[in-house]
Protein backbone atom coordinates (compact mmCIF):
# COMPACT_ATOMS: atom_id res chain seq x y z
CA UNK A 1 0.00 0.00 0.00
CA UNK A 2 1.21 3.50 -0.70
CA UNK A 3 -0.13 7.02 -0.50
CA UNK A 4 -0.98 8.02 -4.04
CA UNK A 5 -3.19 11.02 -3.43
CA UNK A 6 -4.17 13.26 -0.56
CA UNK A 7 -6.43 16.29 -0.55
CA UNK A 8 -7.14 19.71 0.87
CA UNK A 9 -10.52 21.42 0.73
CA UNK A 10 -10.30 24.75 -1.05
CA UNK A 11 -12.74 27.65 -1.25
CA UNK A 12 -12.08 28.32 -4.93
CA UNK A 13 -10.36 25.82 -7.22
CA UNK A 14 -9.07 28.38 -9.75
CA UNK A 15 -7.58 30.52 -6.99
CA UNK A 16 -6.13 27.43 -5.33
CA UNK A 17 -4.50 26.29 -8.56
CA UNK A 18 -2.83 29.69 -8.93
CA UNK A 19 -1.55 29.64 -5.34
CA UNK A 20 -0.31 26.05 -5.39
CA UNK A 21 1.42 26.45 -8.79
CA UNK A 22 2.48 30.09 -9.18
CA UNK A 23 3.32 30.75 -5.52
CA UNK A 24 4.27 27.40 -3.98
CA UNK A 25 5.70 26.01 -7.23
CA UNK A 26 3.80 22.75 -7.77
CA UNK A 27 2.70 21.72 -11.28
CA UNK A 28 -0.76 20.76 -12.46
CA UNK A 29 -1.18 17.03 -13.06
CA UNK A 30 -4.88 16.37 -13.70
CA UNK A 31 -7.66 18.78 -14.51
CA UNK A 32 -10.90 17.03 -15.42
CA UNK A 33 -14.38 18.59 -15.27
CA UNK A 34 -16.66 16.91 -12.74
CA UNK A 35 -20.32 17.88 -12.82
CA UNK A 36 -21.30 21.42 -13.76
CA UNK A 37 -18.79 23.51 -11.85
CA UNK A 38 -16.19 21.30 -10.18
CA UNK A 39 -12.93 19.83 -11.43
CA UNK A 40 -10.82 16.83 -10.51
CA UNK A 41 -7.79 19.02 -10.01
CA UNK A 42 -4.47 17.70 -8.78
CA UNK A 43 -0.95 19.07 -8.47
CA UNK A 44 2.41 17.37 -7.94
CA UNK A 45 5.89 18.46 -7.02
CA UNK A 46 8.10 19.22 -10.06
CA UNK A 47 10.79 17.25 -8.19
CA UNK A 48 8.55 14.16 -8.24
CA UNK A 49 6.17 14.27 -11.22
CA UNK A 50 5.13 10.68 -10.54
CA UNK A 51 4.86 11.23 -6.80
CA UNK A 52 1.92 11.79 -4.48
CA UNK A 53 -0.77 14.01 -5.96
CA UNK A 54 -2.50 16.72 -3.98
CA UNK A 55 -6.19 17.03 -4.83
CA UNK A 56 -7.56 20.57 -4.59
CA UNK A 57 -11.06 19.58 -3.62
CA UNK A 58 -14.01 22.01 -3.57
CA UNK A 59 -15.06 22.75 0.02
CA UNK A 60 -18.74 22.31 -0.70
CA UNK A 61 -19.67 20.14 2.23
CA UNK A 62 -21.28 22.35 4.91
CA UNK A 63 -19.12 20.78 7.62
CA UNK A 64 -15.90 21.67 5.79
CA UNK A 65 -16.07 25.35 6.77
CA UNK A 66 -16.65 24.64 10.48
CA UNK A 67 -13.86 22.08 10.51
CA UNK A 68 -11.33 24.30 8.75
CA UNK A 69 -12.23 27.46 10.69
CA UNK A 70 -11.65 25.65 13.98
CA UNK A 71 -8.25 24.35 12.85
CA UNK A 72 -7.14 27.71 11.45
CA UNK A 73 -8.10 29.52 14.66
CA UNK A 74 -5.74 27.29 16.62
CA UNK A 75 -3.05 27.47 13.93
CA UNK A 76 -3.23 23.76 13.03
CA UNK A 77 -1.96 22.86 9.55
CA UNK A 78 -3.81 20.40 7.32
CA UNK A 79 -0.80 19.19 5.37
CA UNK A 80 2.98 19.24 5.57
CA UNK A 81 5.31 19.79 2.63
CA UNK A 82 9.03 19.05 2.72
CA UNK A 83 11.46 21.74 1.62
CA UNK A 84 15.26 21.90 1.60
CA UNK A 85 15.44 25.09 3.62
CA UNK A 86 12.47 26.45 5.57
CA UNK A 87 14.16 29.79 6.24
CA UNK A 88 14.83 30.35 2.53
CA UNK A 89 11.23 29.41 1.63
CA UNK A 90 9.97 31.75 4.34
CA UNK A 91 11.92 34.63 2.78
CA UNK A 92 10.89 33.74 -0.77
CA UNK A 93 7.19 33.28 0.02
CA UNK A 94 6.95 36.30 2.34
CA UNK A 95 8.31 38.43 -0.48
CA UNK A 96 5.44 37.10 -2.62
CA UNK A 97 2.95 38.23 0.02
CA UNK A 98 2.29 34.87 1.69
CA UNK A 99 1.06 35.14 5.26
CA UNK A 100 2.75 32.92 7.86
CA UNK A 101 1.05 32.11 11.17
CA UNK A 102 4.30 30.61 12.40
CA UNK A 103 7.68 31.89 11.31
CA UNK A 104 10.45 29.28 11.05
CA UNK A 105 11.32 27.65 14.38
CA UNK A 106 13.74 24.87 15.17
CA UNK A 107 11.59 22.12 16.66
CA UNK A 108 14.10 19.57 17.85
CA UNK A 109 15.28 17.66 14.78
CA UNK A 110 13.29 19.69 12.22
CA UNK A 111 12.65 23.30 11.34
CA UNK A 112 9.02 24.15 10.64
CA UNK A 113 6.89 27.09 9.59
CA UNK A 114 3.16 27.44 8.92
CA UNK A 115 1.58 29.44 6.11
CA UNK A 116 -1.93 30.35 4.95
CA UNK A 117 -2.79 28.94 1.51
CA UNK A 118 -5.41 31.73 0.98
CA UNK A 119 -7.99 29.02 0.20
CA UNK A 120 -8.96 28.24 3.78
CA UNK A 121 -6.09 26.08 5.02
CA UNK A 122 -2.84 26.28 6.91
CA UNK A 123 0.13 24.38 5.48
CA UNK A 124 3.27 23.39 7.36
CA UNK A 125 6.70 23.51 5.75
CA UNK A 126 9.39 21.31 7.25
CA UNK A 127 13.05 20.73 6.57
CA UNK A 128 15.33 18.06 7.91
CA UNK A 129 18.74 19.06 9.24
CA UNK A 130 21.46 18.87 6.60
CA UNK B 1 -5.15 39.14 41.25
CA UNK B 2 -1.92 38.45 43.16
CA UNK B 3 -3.16 34.94 43.97
CA UNK B 4 -3.82 34.32 40.27
CA UNK B 5 -0.33 35.52 39.44
CA UNK B 6 1.47 33.30 41.94
CA UNK B 7 -0.69 30.32 41.09
CA UNK B 8 0.11 30.83 37.40
CA UNK B 9 3.86 30.90 38.09
CA UNK B 10 3.78 27.88 40.40
CA UNK B 11 3.71 25.35 37.57
CA UNK B 12 6.75 24.34 35.54
CA UNK B 13 4.79 23.77 32.32
CA UNK B 14 3.33 27.27 32.54
CA UNK B 15 6.78 28.71 33.16
CA UNK B 16 8.02 26.86 30.06
CA UNK B 17 5.16 28.37 28.04
CA UNK B 18 6.28 31.81 29.25
CA UNK B 19 9.90 30.98 28.28
CA UNK B 20 8.77 30.13 24.76
CA UNK B 21 6.58 33.21 24.46
CA UNK B 22 9.49 35.32 25.71
CA UNK B 23 11.54 33.99 22.81
CA UNK B 24 8.80 34.96 20.38
CA UNK B 25 5.52 36.59 21.27
CA UNK B 26 2.43 36.06 19.12
CA UNK B 27 2.12 32.27 18.83
CA UNK B 28 -0.81 30.12 17.80
CA UNK B 29 -1.95 27.29 20.04
CA UNK B 30 -0.39 24.89 17.52
CA UNK B 31 3.03 26.54 17.78
CA UNK B 32 2.94 26.53 21.59
CA UNK B 33 1.98 22.83 21.62
CA UNK B 34 4.70 21.99 19.09
CA UNK B 35 7.36 23.83 21.09
CA UNK B 36 6.38 22.08 24.34
CA UNK B 37 6.42 18.71 22.64
CA UNK B 38 9.39 19.02 20.27
CA UNK B 39 11.71 21.22 22.32
CA UNK B 40 10.86 20.15 25.85
CA UNK B 41 9.57 16.60 25.43
CA UNK B 42 6.36 17.49 27.22
CA UNK B 43 3.67 15.08 26.11
CA UNK B 44 0.61 17.06 27.09
CA UNK B 45 -2.64 17.32 25.23
CA UNK B 46 -3.82 20.38 23.36
CA UNK B 47 -6.69 20.65 25.84
CA UNK B 48 -4.25 20.70 28.75
CA UNK B 49 -2.17 23.40 27.06
CA UNK B 50 -5.36 25.41 26.52
CA UNK B 51 -6.11 25.14 30.24
CA UNK B 52 -2.61 26.31 31.14
CA UNK B 53 -3.03 29.25 28.78
CA UNK B 54 -6.35 30.12 30.44
CA UNK B 55 -4.60 30.25 33.83
CA UNK B 56 -1.84 32.45 32.40
CA UNK B 57 -4.45 34.69 30.79
CA UNK B 58 -6.38 35.04 34.08
CA UNK B 59 -3.12 36.19 35.69
CA UNK B 60 -2.61 38.76 32.94
CA UNK B 61 0.65 37.13 31.79
CA UNK B 62 -0.74 36.05 28.43
CA UNK B 63 -3.06 38.01 26.18
CA UNK B 64 -4.90 36.60 23.21
CA UNK B 65 -5.33 38.56 20.03
CA UNK B 66 -7.56 37.72 17.08
CA UNK B 67 -6.26 38.60 13.68
CA UNK B 68 -8.63 37.62 10.92
CA UNK B 69 -9.19 33.88 11.24
CA UNK B 70 -6.20 33.31 13.51
CA UNK B 71 -5.75 33.60 17.25
CA UNK B 72 -2.35 34.54 18.67
CA UNK B 73 -1.00 34.48 22.23
CA UNK B 74 1.19 37.34 23.40
CA UNK B 75 3.35 37.59 26.51
CA UNK B 76 2.64 40.43 28.94
CA UNK B 77 5.26 40.77 31.66
CA UNK B 78 3.68 43.84 33.27
CA UNK B 79 2.20 41.84 36.20
CA UNK B 80 5.72 40.65 37.12
CA UNK B 81 6.69 44.23 37.93
CA UNK B 82 4.27 44.17 40.84
CA UNK B 83 6.31 41.34 42.35
CA UNK B 84 9.51 43.34 41.97
CA UNK B 85 7.92 46.46 43.43
CA UNK B 86 6.52 44.55 46.38
CA UNK B 87 9.75 43.19 47.84
CA UNK B 88 12.82 44.18 45.92
CA UNK B 89 14.76 47.20 47.08
CA UNK B 90 15.58 49.49 44.14
CA UNK B 91 19.26 49.55 43.19
CA UNK B 92 20.95 52.49 44.82
CA UNK B 93 24.58 53.20 44.02
CA UNK B 94 26.69 52.37 47.05
CA UNK B 95 29.79 54.57 47.32
CA UNK B 96 31.61 51.83 49.25
CA UNK B 97 31.16 49.35 46.36
CA UNK B 98 32.03 51.72 43.54
CA UNK B 99 35.48 52.58 44.86
CA UNK B 100 38.07 50.02 43.79
Q: Which H helix or E strand runs over B37? A: helix B29-40
C-alpha torsion sign, points B64, B67, B72, B74: negative
- Taking only the tens place, the pLDDT of each residue in A75-85 is 999 999 999 99
Q: Is A125 on the interface with B (CB under 8 A)?
A: no
Write the CATH number for B17. 1.10.10.10
Query: For residues A18, A128, B43 and A123, what is the CA-based torsion angle, rounded to 10 degrees?
Result: 0
Mean pLDDT by 10 residues, chain B (100 residues): 90 98 97 96 95 97 96 96 80 60
Q: Is residue B32 situated within a structural domain? A: yes
Q: Is B70 on the interface with A (CB under 8 A)?
A: yes
Q: Is residue B78 situated within a structural domain? A: yes
Where b means 16+ CB within 10 Å and e means fewer, B27-59 reads bbbbbbbbbbebbbebeeeeeebeebbebbbeb
HSE-CB of A58 using CA atoms within 13 angstroms = 11
Q: How confident is the model at residue A130 (pLDDT cuts 50, 70, 90)?
A: low
Q: Which residue of A has its CA nearest to B46?
A: A74
Looking at residue B86, its pLDDT comes to: 83
Looking at residue A129, its pLDDT comes to: 73
Are the beta carbons of B26 and A102 closer than 8 angstroms?
A: no
**Distance between CA atoms of residues A88 and B64, nearest Å:** 29
Q: Which domains does chain A have, with CATH numbers?
A: 5-127 (3.10.180.10)
Q: Is residue B97 situated within a structural domain? A: no
Q: Is residue B23 situated within a structural domain? A: yes
Are the beta carbons of A13 and A39 closer than 8 angstroms?
A: yes
Domain of B70 in residue numbering reads as 2-85
Q: Which residues contact B40 (CB under 8 A, 6 or more apart)?
A: B16
Complex ipTM value: 0.90
Q: Write the CA distances from A16 to A42, A59, A66, B36, B80, integer angstroms.
A: 10, 11, 19, 33, 46
Q: Is A24 on the interface with B (CB under 8 A)?
A: no
Q: Is residue B100 situated within a structural domain? A: no
Query: A120: which DSSP letter?
Result: S
Q: How confident is the model at residue A74 (pLDDT cuts 50, 70, 90)?
A: very high
Please judge whether B28 and A75 are an interchain contact, meaning their C-beta atoms are less than 8 angstroms apart. Answer: yes
Q: Minimal CA–CA distance to B67: which of B24, B21, B27?
A: B27
Please judge whether A105 and B35 are an interchain contact, meaning their C-beta atoms are less than 8 angstroms apart. Answer: yes
Amino acid sequence: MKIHLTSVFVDDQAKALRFYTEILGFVKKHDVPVGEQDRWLTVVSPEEPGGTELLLEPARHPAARTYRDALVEDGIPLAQFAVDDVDAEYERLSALGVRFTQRPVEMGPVTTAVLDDTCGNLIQLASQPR
Amino acid sequence: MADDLFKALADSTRRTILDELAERSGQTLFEICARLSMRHGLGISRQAVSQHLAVLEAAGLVETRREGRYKFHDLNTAPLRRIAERWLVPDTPDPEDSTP
